[in-house]
Structures are given as C-alpha cells and as structure tokens.
Structure 1
Amino acid sequence: MPQQSPQSQLSPEEIERLARKRAGAKIGWYFHAAVYVAVNLTLFAMSDQLFGTRRWSMAPVLGWGLGLALHGISVFVLGRGSGLRERMVQKERERLLREQERMRDR
C-alpha cells in the first residue's frame, strides 16, 4: 500500500464529508435496487394476467438491469477509496501542484 504524501492527507472534516457522501451513494443504490425488484416483479405478474405472455416483460428487466449494474459499478467500484476515480483525482492534484510550483519558481 503506497504511503500518502502530506498534501493528500485528509482532515477529519474531509473524511466525514467523504464518508457521508459514499454512504449516501450506497444507500441510493440499495433504494434503486429495491425499486427495480418491486417494479419488475409487478410487471412480470401483470404480463401473464393481462397479456397472456411474459416475453415483453423481459425488456424492462434487461434494460433497467443494465442501468442498475452501471449504477452499482459507479458506486462500488469507481467510488471506493482505492478506485480508479480516486487515483485519477490524486494524479491531477499532484500535476496541478507541480505546475503551481513551476510558476512560482519563474
């Protein structure tokens, strides 16, 4: 595990804000998943009773399921502390600090 440089250490307030943001994103995904299950179960039950076939009810399951999967990836994979997003932000921060130091040295 790489050591953090002094400028990348978070203050307690920043840690609290980031933790709340990440927890909120996870709660949002769980709510999204619950609505997905409830709505698609209802559509599945209605499709047989009203239309005599369940084939059409797979379209919303698959389409919305893709959206739910992408939402999950953004929350659980890209939103983690060691995720791609965090590393990219850190690299950009370091690049900007180097540029700022170069400008001061001129």
Structure 2
Amino acid sequence: MNDWTATPAPAATTTASAASIDASLLRRARRRVALKTGFFIHALVFTLVNLGLFTLNQAIGGRPWSHFPLGGWGIALAIHGIVTIVKLTGDGWRDRLLATEVARLRSQA
C-alpha cells in the first residue's frame, strides 16, 4: 500500500518502484565509492611522491627544500579530504531540507 492512499498499489508499479529505488541506491553507492577512492588515490600519490622528493633532497644534500611541495600539496590534500567528508555526510541533505520545508508549508496552509 502507498502511504497516501488506502488502496494497494498494483504489482507492476511496486516492482518498478523497487527497481527505481535499487537503481537510485546503486547510483548513490557508486558516487560514494568514487569519492572515497579518489581521496585514497590522492593520499597515496601524495605520500609516494613526497617520500621520493624527501629521499632525493637527502641524497643531493644542500638546503632542505622538500618541505615546500609537502606543505603546498598537503593543504590541497586537506581541502580534498574536507570536501569528501562534507559530500559523504551531506548525502541526502537536500532531501531532508525539502521534506522539512514541505512539512512547514503544510502546517501553515
């Protein structure tokens, strides 16, 4: 049965609705996995490259310079991490905000 009617929904509609929900969940899951994977790859490349730069700096000698790219890229990685966390925790935020607004408008009417 649907929430808004007292009559049961036809089986075809229920099946189509379930398929739509499954497709929506799959799409959201793929998006979340892509966000996480992108950040982890970025962190891995950051670590490997900066280890290589540090090793190169130590092998060449002279003034230390490897901390400059480490700091700049570290800021970019931190921003990437913050954006990833916000996108993952904000998943469904628009839907919750919309439901709140609809409920508020219904109470005013």
Q: What range describes the TM-score normalised by the shorter chain of this pair?
A: 0.5 to 0.7
Amino acid of the structure 2 residue aligned with 1:89: R
Q: Percent identity among equivalent residues?
A: 31
Distance 1:97 1:14 in 2: 22
Gaps of 5+ in 2: 4-19, 104-109
Q: Could you tell me which of 31, 45, 69 is aligned with 1:60?
A: 69
Q: Could you tell me which of 90, 95, 98 is aligned with 1:90?
A: 95
Which residue of structure 2 lines up, in the alignment, with residue 21 of structure 1? 31
Considering only aligned residues, what root-mean-square deviation do their CA atoms show, in Å?
2.7
- Number of corresponding residues: 88
1:70 aligns with 2:74: no
Deviation at 1:31, TM superposition (A): 0.6
Distance 1:34 1:26 in 2: 12
What SS is found at the alignment partner of 1:73?
helix
Deviation at 1:43, TM superposition (A): 0.6
Distance 1:16 1:93 in 2: 22
Gaps of 5+ in 1: 1-5, 99-106
TM-score, normalized by length of structure 2? 0.64
Which residue of structure 2 lines up, in the alignment, with residue 47 of structure 1? 57
Distance 1:71 1:47 in 2: 26
Larger Rg: 2
